[in-house]
């Protein structure tokens, strides 16, 4: 079984997609029209440092991931499963046929605008502690308004909350043996309770979009289980303010028989996580309602 994994915000870099734009001029023309400016210049030249601003990062990265996926589909068979980290989930759903390229770009553009309006927040990657250890650390420093945002691996957790509270967490991490931390370049407390106003506005926008059922199973960030045929919009809206359950998502892929993955993204961010999770003891096999084991089912960043 094979799975394709799509990177999210944090994987962007100036120069991304350079070899792909000439190969897919029809996609580039659509992107230019939707974004109101040349996507090639945005990705290659990074004018005014916009690639690190959420409202521009997200659509630019979506386009580059989509072009790389189109190239892969033109050269070989589709995978058995799909998954994407935060923003990357939209590329996974595009590959699964839930919407076309332009519809997905319009969704991501609106998502980036709403998330880009959030300010006063911060995110911090905590390395070397399991989720329970991070929760205990938050309790010790009184960070009651900081949430676990990305559960990436067994010992890599991203926290999200008000900037001052996250600074207190950073100080506590540095005083904890065996732990270290890396501040993330975000202006908002993504994937936390503080994004609920944006979530509500995004849900209203998604009500205007028609989604098709996935043709290939896509593991959702919110549930770490495949999207149901009629629940895509709800899970995408919830994703903005809910933790990315990436560790569980990778475990779910392994549990369903995936042994091979391919990462799509300008930087190698997801493959190290896959390797870490794949080295863990195998998760329990799925069981049918009667209790017998089931056979395998065929088929970054901060935001």
The average pLDDT across 190-214 equals: 97
pLDDT tens, residue by residue, 12-49: 999 999 999 999 999 999 999 999 999 999 999 998 99
List active site positions: 86, 191
Task: Say what the pTM is.
Answer: 0.92
Domain ranges for the chain: 2-117+193-278, 121-184
Q: In what order do the strands lie in the sheet with 81-84?
A: 218-219, 81-84, 2-6, 260-264
Is a pLDDT exceeding 80 seen at residue 200?
A: yes
Q: Which fold has domain 121-184?
A: Alpha-Beta Plaits (3.30.70)
Query: Per the structure block, which two tokens stand in for 286?
Result: 């799925």
Q: Which fold has domain 2-117+193-278?
A: Malonyl-Coenzyme A Acyl Carrier Protein; domain 2 (3.40.366)
> Can you tell me the distance from the alpha carbon of 228 to that of 233, in angstroms, rounded to the nearest whole number?
10
pLDDT tens, residue by residue, 270-281: 999 999 999 998
Please report, rounded to a whole number, the percentage of residues in the chain having pLDDT higher than 70. Answer: 93
> Can you tell me the distance from the alpha carbon of 229 to that of 141, in angstroms, rounded to the nearest whole number?
42
Query: Per the structure block, which two tokens stand in for 215?
Result: 């043709």
How confident is the model at residue 296, as a pLDDT?
32
Is a pLDDT exceeding 50 seen at residue 289?
A: no
């Amino acid at each position: 079984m094979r799975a394709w994994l799509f990177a999210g915000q944090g994987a962007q870099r100036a120069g991304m997609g350079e070899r792909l734009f000439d190969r897919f001029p029809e996609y580039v023309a659509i992107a230019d029209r939707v974004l109101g400016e040349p996507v090639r210049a945005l990705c290659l030249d990074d004018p005014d440092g916009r690639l690190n601003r959420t409202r521009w990062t997200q659509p630019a990265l979506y386009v580059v991931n989509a072009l790389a996926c189109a190239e892969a589909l033109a050269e070989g068979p589709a995978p058995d499963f799909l998954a994407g980290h935060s923003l990357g989930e939209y590329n996974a759903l595009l590959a699964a046929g839930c919407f076309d390229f332009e519809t997905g770009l319009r969704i991501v553009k609106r998502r980036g605008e709403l998330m880009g309006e959030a300010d006063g927040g911060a995110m911090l990657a905590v390395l070397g502690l399991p989720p329970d250890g991070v929760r205990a650390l938050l309790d010790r420093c009184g960070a009651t308004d900081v949430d676990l945002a990305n559960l990436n691996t067994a010992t890599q957790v991203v926290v999200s909350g008000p900037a001052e509270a996250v600074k207190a967490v950073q100080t506590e991490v540095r005083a904890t043996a065996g732990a270290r931390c890396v501040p993330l370049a975000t202006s908002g407390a993504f994937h936390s309770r503080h994004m609920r106003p944006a979530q509500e506005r995004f849900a209203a926008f998604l009500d205007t979009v028609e989604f098709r059922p996935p043709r290939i199973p896509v593991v959702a960030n919110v549930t770490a289980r495949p999207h149901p045929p009629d629940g895509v919009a709800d899970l995408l809206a919830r994703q903005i303010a809910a933790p990315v359950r990436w560790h569980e998502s990778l475990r779910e892929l392994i549990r369903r028989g995936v042994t091979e993955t391919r990462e799509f993204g300008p930087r190698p961010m997801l493959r190290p996580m896959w390797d870490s999770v794949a080295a863990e003891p195998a998760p329990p096999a799925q069981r049918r309602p009667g209790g017998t084991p089931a056979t395998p089912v065929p088929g970054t960043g901060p935001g």
